[in-house]
Chains A and B, each alone.
Chain A
């Protein structure tokens, strides 16, 4: 069907602010005018303060309008059809500074293509990475990924190529590719956006991984809190099977690759890779002791590549454009780009993909425009519930794995949550311990018991009960949890707690630190 092509995002963030109603209203308005329109439910461009952001295909490219409400449908349609002006008209989305300043490699197609259409994916350069991979031998594919400098985007930052090589070198009758799509960190939504906006890039990345290491079965473990992502992925996988891009002979090659979605059940700890493997196996999501590494004994005891969504979704462009192209972006040992997620109390929230090296201050103040409330920024938490809280005095820290580690923090999965000056940092520290207590798998004592004791100790500090002694006790407890826990849940909960205590002691009843000392 031809006619005016209108894009209304089907991304969950857009749907949560009324995109479905907008799509229905546009359809109805077009019907009343007997206008032929084709509505495409694309992903989101990531300019979330403008969602629902509707785009209309014109001879001059796409023209965006936003944020659109259902009541605006009639007027927007009128403006779109006759080129008239409209207060919500934003012009070409590519020219909006927030988008224009980005380097979109992983997110190159997100928000542009129809996420359920294999044809559209191909029309926008999809499957060129796989095409290239099929001309290389296995070692060369792994080498390309290693050379690119790509590191695990889930948070740990382990070199992806090294992981792949370990699995490629392991001899086994069956190997697996597992995609960790259990994106449980508050302030992160990049995995969700890719799965809802460009799922084929993930499917392609996993297929390349399978060919590279000799794995014929893949699983995408998606959290149950992401019903939209699950639905889009399942449709895309079915389309890839129909198009011969999954199955016994991938793209007509001798390589087989089968892919299936598995759904989590609301356990945060299943984002930890070994707990995730146990969960797919049908067990409680308990963390495993390492070694053995999943690369040697992973899913069902077989060699397994387990990578985050963003790591796998970045593989196709690395194969297509070459390792050198990707490696050229970034700083130090952090190569390429990072899809950063701006959230919480921020004026311009959304997805900002940029080369490593941008400072925290630039991201929060310039790109993000400061707080949404208009009050001063007081603290930003980077890297999810296990990430450190940074005060403004540390805003010059560049976005880089090593620089963040040096500042006693982590970039994690790239989420930034902004808080204004009404935040109570003792309450945030308490929440971090409470969250750990609720979500602990219970296998190791520092995490299981330490988190509950942590809540109690913080309560005593807040209640001014032996404050000095209890503060020392909290520091000691954090030390034990950091070095004695089996995984990052217990091991990293001390980051938000200690950073809150170090940078915001006045919220715990201590005299404020002298700013000059920083």
Chain B
């Protein structure tokens, strides 16, 4: 898991200024901010709007349109479980239920006990080795009950 730094407007300003001149700068800026801080702080929207000379509403609209951008930090770990057709055909629905039960949390939320954020993902392009998931940015496939359990046990530590 990449370590994120706490929100800091000065750092954010520098990140934004570095990329503001690029054509279509908004997505590259948002990706860079999220990589640094782990989420898009509310204040960042205003800084971006000023730098790109667009309205804050436009920035907010983009932040909320894309599934990737977070408005709050994620937990200590992020488990993205593929819920799309190919993985369904190999039993991903049962794995999803297993993850929810074990973490005692629904998709889109963070488990209180071990700080795992459970998220759906619609295809990782690993359909030939389904079911697949991404755990803290690392791809894992041919998942089964035992392998998923092992992943979640690692997260407990």
Q: What is A's interface to B at a CB cutoff of 8 Å?
A: 12-13, 15-17, 48-49, 51, 183-189, 191-192, 224-228, 262-268, 279-285, 300, 341-345, 349-351, 372, 381, 385, 415, 417-420, 423, 428, 431, 435, 439
The answer on a CB contact under 8 Å between A385 and B85 is yes
The answer on a CB contact under 8 Å between A224 and B122 is no
The answer on a CB contact under 8 Å between B27 and A262 is yes
9 pairs of A and B residues whose beta carbons are closest in the complex: A282-B26, A186-B84, A265-B66, A343-B127, A344-B89, A266-B67, A16-B141, A48-B128, A349-B128
Shortest C-beta distance, A179 to chain B (Å), equals 15
Which residues does chain A contribute within 8 Å of B134, judged by CB atoms? 225
Which one of A51, A189, A191 lies within 8 Å of B127 (CB-CB)?
A189
Which residues does chain B contribute within 8 Å of A415, judged by CB atoms? 86, 127
Give the complex CA separation of A279 and B26 in angstroms.
Answer: 9
Give the complex CA separation of A10 and B12 in angstroms.
Answer: 34
The answer on a CB contact under 8 Å between A12 and B25 is no
The answer on a CB contact under 8 Å between B127 and A341 is yes
Give the complex CA separation of A232 and B121 in angstroms.
Answer: 22
Give the complex CA separation of A423 and B90 in angstroms.
Answer: 10
Give the complex CA separation of A192 and B127 in angstroms.
Answer: 11
Give the number of residue pairs across the A-B interface with Cβ within 8 Å.
149
Which residues does chain A contribute within 8 Å of B52, judged by CB atoms? 282
Which one of A51, A183, A345, A350 lies within 8 Å of B90 (CB-CB)?
A345
The answer on a CB contact under 8 Å between A225 and B125 is yes
Which one of B31, B65, B128 lies within 8 Å of A285 (CB-CB)?
B65
Which residues does chain B contribute within 8 Å of A267, judged by CB atoms? 65-67
- Given the known inter-chain contacts A262-B24, A265-B67, A267-B66, please indicate yes or no for A227 contacting B137, CB distance below 8 A: yes
- Given the known inter-chain contacts A265-B27, A265-B30, please indicate yes or no for A186 contacting B67, CB distance below 8 A: no
Give the complex CA separation of A49 and B129 in angstroms.
Answer: 7
Which residues does chain A contribute within 8 Å of B26, judged by CB atoms? 282-283
How many of B's residues come within 8 Å of A, CB to CB? 42
Q: What is B's interface to A at a CB cutoff of 8 Å?
A: 23-28, 30-31, 52, 58, 61-62, 65-69, 82, 84-90, 121-130, 132, 134, 137, 139-142
Give the complex CA separation of A262 and B123 in angstroms.
Answer: 19
Which residues does chain B contribute within 8 Å of A268, judged by CB atoms? 122
Q: Which residue of A lies closest to B54 (CB)?
A: A282
Which residues does chain A contribute within 8 Å of B62, judged by CB atoms? 282-284
The answer on a CB contact under 8 Å between A423 and B141 is no
Which residues does chain A contribute within 8 Å of B90, judged by CB atoms? 344-345, 372
Which residues does chain A contribute within 8 Å of B86, judged by CB atoms? 186-187, 343-344, 415, 417
Which residues does chain A contribute within 8 Å of B141, judged by CB atoms? 13, 16-17
Shortest C-beta distance, A478 to chain B (Å), equals 18
Q: Which residue of B lies closest to A267 (CB)?
A: B66
Give the complex CA separation of A266 and B24 in angstroms.
Answer: 17
The answer on a CB contact under 8 Å between A341 and B128 is yes
Which residues does chain A contribute within 8 Å of B27, judged by CB atoms? 262-265, 279-280, 282
Which residues does chain A contribute within 8 Å of B129, judged by CB atoms? 13, 16-17, 48, 51, 349
Overall SS of chain B's interface? mixed
Interchain Cβ contacts under 8 Å between A and B, 5 examples: A12-B139, A16-B124, A17-B141, A186-B82, A224-B31
The answer on a CB contact under 8 Å between A225 and B128 is no
Which residues does chain B contribute within 8 Å of A281, judged by CB atoms? 23-24
Shortest C-beta distance, A451 to chain B (Å), equals 14
The answer on a CB contact under 8 Å between B85 and A428 is yes
Shortest C-beta distance, B57 to chain A (Å), equals 11
Overall SS of chain A's interface? mixed
Known pairs A191-B125, A283-B62 / 19 extra A-B pairs, C-beta < 8 Å: A13-B128, A186-B82, A186-B123, A186-B127, A188-B125, A189-B126, A228-B139, A263-B31, A264-B66, A264-B68, A265-B68, A267-B65, A282-B24, A300-B24, A341-B128, A343-B89, A372-B90, A381-B85, A385-B122
Which residues does chain A contribute within 8 Å of B124, judged by CB atoms? 12, 16, 225-226
Which residues does chain A contribute within 8 Å of B28, judged by CB atoms? 262-263
The answer on a CB contact under 8 Å between B122 and A435 is yes
- Given the known inter-chain contacts A265-B67, A281-B24, please indicate yes or no for A188 contacting B127, CB distance below 8 A: yes
Shortest C-beta distance, B67 to chain A (Å), equals 4
- Given the known inter-chain contacts A265-B67, A265-B68, please indicate yes or no for A13 contacting B126, CB distance below 8 A: yes
Which one of B67, B85, B127, B128 lies within 8 Å of A431 (CB-CB)?
B85
Which residues does chain B contribute within 8 Å of A49, judged by CB atoms? 128
Which residues does chain B contribute within 8 Å of A341, judged by CB atoms? 127-128
The answer on a CB contact under 8 Å between A431 and B88 is yes
Q: Which residue of A lies closest to B62 (CB)?
A: A284
Which residues does chain B contribute within 8 Å of A227, judged by CB atoms? 137
The answer on a CB contact under 8 Å between B89 and A265 is no
Which one of B69, B87, B139 lies within 8 Å of A186 (CB-CB)?
B87
Which residues does chain B contribute within 8 Å of A342, judged by CB atoms? 128
Shortest C-beta distance, A233 to chain B (Å), equals 14
The answer on a CB contact under 8 Å between A343 and B130 is yes
Which residues does chain B contribute within 8 Å of A262, judged by CB atoms? 24, 27-28
The answer on a CB contact under 8 Å between A186 and B122 is yes
The answer on a CB contact under 8 Å between A183 and B125 is yes
Shortest C-beta distance, A193 to chain B (Å), equals 8
Which residues does chain A contribute within 8 Å of B125, judged by CB atoms? 12-13, 183, 188-189, 191-192, 225-226
- Given the known inter-chain contacts A16-B140, A435-B122, please indicate yes or no for A266 contacting B66, CB distance below 8 A: yes
Q: Which residue of B lies closest to A186 (CB)?
A: B84
Shortest C-beta distance, A2 to chain B (Å), equals 32
Which residues does chain B contribute within 8 Å of A431, judged by CB atoms? 85, 88
